[in-house]
């Protein structure tokens, strides 16, 4: 009760531009549990207008610099922009990843920009469930563009970046990046390749490698992901990147693919929430004296694991 | 009925030394589903005598050569030995990993040796559930020692190798292997380090790095994992490896840790089976016309994902 009233108040305040309230909402989401669900119930029905852009690529590719540059381009249109920096690996240290993001500081005083790093708190479901919730908190607060930047290219990070409306994969010349990207599964999620640090040797080879990989990919739809050269540190090429994001958005909208993507995404998320909820009840039911007795019967080979599982599952039926 | 009779027949034949029957049992286990469960129910209650040794480490560390050498040592005691080579990555090609394992061929004509590679068939639960089942099929067939070798050091592979009674981590000098091992989570599962290719430069540094990492590890129990130098290709050090495995086994048995490990393992597996079963019912229930209607309500923002999940979960209550 108190919980739902608090969330209600925070969502209303965030909707009126209170950035502190928005930050607290996202903290509740990160923490998971009942509070996060209360926030999720409120923000979901208030949203639906934000466009999300995922930005992924190996560490050191210049994703933060690119993101900082794109913030400026979005802000020039007058639209509010949110940035979520997703770092599954920071659970161990608990550290935020934004500390060293000097260029992000350029936007620290702009009330139209909301920057937040998200780390997993180690709970089940983790960032894969928390990130769409955080996007919706921004969405409900009237933020029109959300950039979701991942720190690395782990499985969770690629999955999260790949669920954006447009996914940007950042590669750099001379690092064998194209092959690494393919191995990591980045090719499947890319709507657009940014070849950053394009003033370095090897950019022509990188373009050629990407083209070759795209030619080999049988699952290609109507949109062939273009490559855009940038030098993010000087801002070179960034307007072209944002222009290509806009082209991709126009393609998604006119082809009906945006609706299909979002339908798939919401169905996947619903399945994940159902599964997550069942997982929690498995951990709850699979402990205690009765469970220990069943385990001891197993150890004594009086029962097999499938029969034991039947006994536990029967209680759900 | 027919299914259970078939499994019954195969389990009986495998118990009488029929290697073809044993191979067919493991194929049924790999395929998953009802047949696998029928096999599992039968083998579980017939087993409990096999000792399992996990062998993991980066590709190229010489795990297959080491495994082939250990087979010979076990066979010299007269005991039957089984080898499961686990390769989660081979799903795409469907290829067996044993084709290039020339040294394994030395044992191909020995009826006391059973070698099998296992790849995931892509179904839910996958190798994490299939491997303990395959171990039990060997166990029920009277195989006293099961070596479980993983091809790489992915999360699933480390998890599988780590669930053995004794887990051997194979490292090589000069490859920054100690740090990689720590990052991959190998330190937590290691009961014994094999420093293979110990005739190469850097073996002293590798030993020092391992010692330093062990000193940093706060979670160490009474057993400090020893390091054994080997040159698996010449057989050097292999008797010491097997001797150390025997010491670890004696430690586990005398300290009561073997019983505790196996209790934890069987409890974990029971939870996994329960979870896997619930996952299957999630995929079953989260599709069809009714699910699509719920998804469309979500897309229209008439309902939030948590309320939608409530509606689905309620049917289990």
Reference B241, options B62, B69, B57; nearest CA is: B69
Query: Would you state the pLDDT for residue A220?
Result: 62
Query: Would you state the pLDDT for residue B218?
Result: 59
Considering only CB atoms, A270 lies closest to which of B259, B295, B302, namely B295
B190-208 burial, b at 16+ Cβ within 10 Å, e below that, comes to bbbbbbbbbeeebbeebbe
Phi, psi torsion values for A214, nearest 5 degrees: -65, -35
Q: Do B305 and A47 touch (CB under 8 A)?
A: no
Give percent of chain B with pLDDT exceeding 90: 54
Q: Do B295 and A266 touch (CB under 8 A)?
A: yes
Query: Would you state the pLDDT for residue B103?
Result: 54
Query: Would you state the pLDDT for residue A161?
Result: 85
ipTM summary value: 0.78
Give percent of chain B with pLDDT exceeding 70: 89
Say if residue B124's pLDDT is above 60.
no
Q: Do A299 and B274 touch (CB under 8 A)?
A: no
State which fold the A48-254 domain adopts.
Rossmann fold (3.40.50)
Query: Would you state the pLDDT for residue A279?
Result: 80
Contacts of B219 (CB under 8 A, 6+ apart): B188
Are A226 and A93 in contact, with CB atoms under 8 Å apart? no
Say if residue B224's pLDDT is above 90.
yes
What would you measure as the largest C-alpha separation in chain A, in angstroms? 71
SS3 A58: coil
Say if residue B87's pLDDT is above 70.
yes
Residue B299 contacts A where some CB pair is shorter than 8 Å: yes
* A293-297 contacts, C-beta under 8 A, 24 or more apart: A294/B270, A295/B263, A295/B266, A295/B267, A295/B270, A296/B263
Chain A closest CA to B160's CA: distance in Å? 18
Are A56 and A170 in contact, with CB atoms under 8 Å apart? yes
Query: Distance between CA A27 and CA A82 in Å, rounded?
Result: 15
Q: Which of A31-45, A95-109, B32-46, B275-289 has the lowest mean pLDDT?
A: A95-109
Mean pLDDT confidence for B27-47: 89
Residue A278 contacts B where some CB pair is shorter than 8 Å: yes
CATH 3.40.50.300 corresponds to the domain B48-255: yes
Say if residue B94's pLDDT is above 50.
no
Which residues are registered as beta bridge partners of A53?
A147, A166
Which residue ranges of chain A lie beneath pLDDT 70? 1-4, 89-106, 108, 120-125, 217-220, 316-317
């Amino acid at each position: 009760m108190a919980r739902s009233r608090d969330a209600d108040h925070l969502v209303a305040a965030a909707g009126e531009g209170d950035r502190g309230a928005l930050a607290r909402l996202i903290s509740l989401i990160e923490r998971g549990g009942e509070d996060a669900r209360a926030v999720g119930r409120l923000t979901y029905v208030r949203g639906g207008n934000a466009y999300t852009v995922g930005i992924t690529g190996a560490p050191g590719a210049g994703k933060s610099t690119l993101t900082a540059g794109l913030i400026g381009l979005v802000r020039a249109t007058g639209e509010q922009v949110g940035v979520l920096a997703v770092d599954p690996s920071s659970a161990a240290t608990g550290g935020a990843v934004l500390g060293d993001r000097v260029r992000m500081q350029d936007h620290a005083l702009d009330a139209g920009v909301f920057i937040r790093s998200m780390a997993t708190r180690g709970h089940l479901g983790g960032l894969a469930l928390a990130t769409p919730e955080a996007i919706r908190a921004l969405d409900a607060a009237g933020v029109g563009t959300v950039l979701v930047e991942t720190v690395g290219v782990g499985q969770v990070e690629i999955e999260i970046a790949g669920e954006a409306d447009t996914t940007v994969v950042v590669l750099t010349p001379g690092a064998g990046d194209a092959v690494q990207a393919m191995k990591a599964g980045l090719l499947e999620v890319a709507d657009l390749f940014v070849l950053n640090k394009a003033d370095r040797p090897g950019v022509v080879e990188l373009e050629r490698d990407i083209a070759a990989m795209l030619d080999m990919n049988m699952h290609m739809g109507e949109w062939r992901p273009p490559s855009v050269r940038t030098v993010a540190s000087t801002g070179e090429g960034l307007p072209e990147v944002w222009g290509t994001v806009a082209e991709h958005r126009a393609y998604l909208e006119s082809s009906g693919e945006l609706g299909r993507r979002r339908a798939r995404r919401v169905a996947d998320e619903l399945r994940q929430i159902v599964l997550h909820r069942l997982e929690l009840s498995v951990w709850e039911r699979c402990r205690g004296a009765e469970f220990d007795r069943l385990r001891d019967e197993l150890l004594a080979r009086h029962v097999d694991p499938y029969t034991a599982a039947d006994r536990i599952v029967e209680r759900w039926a």
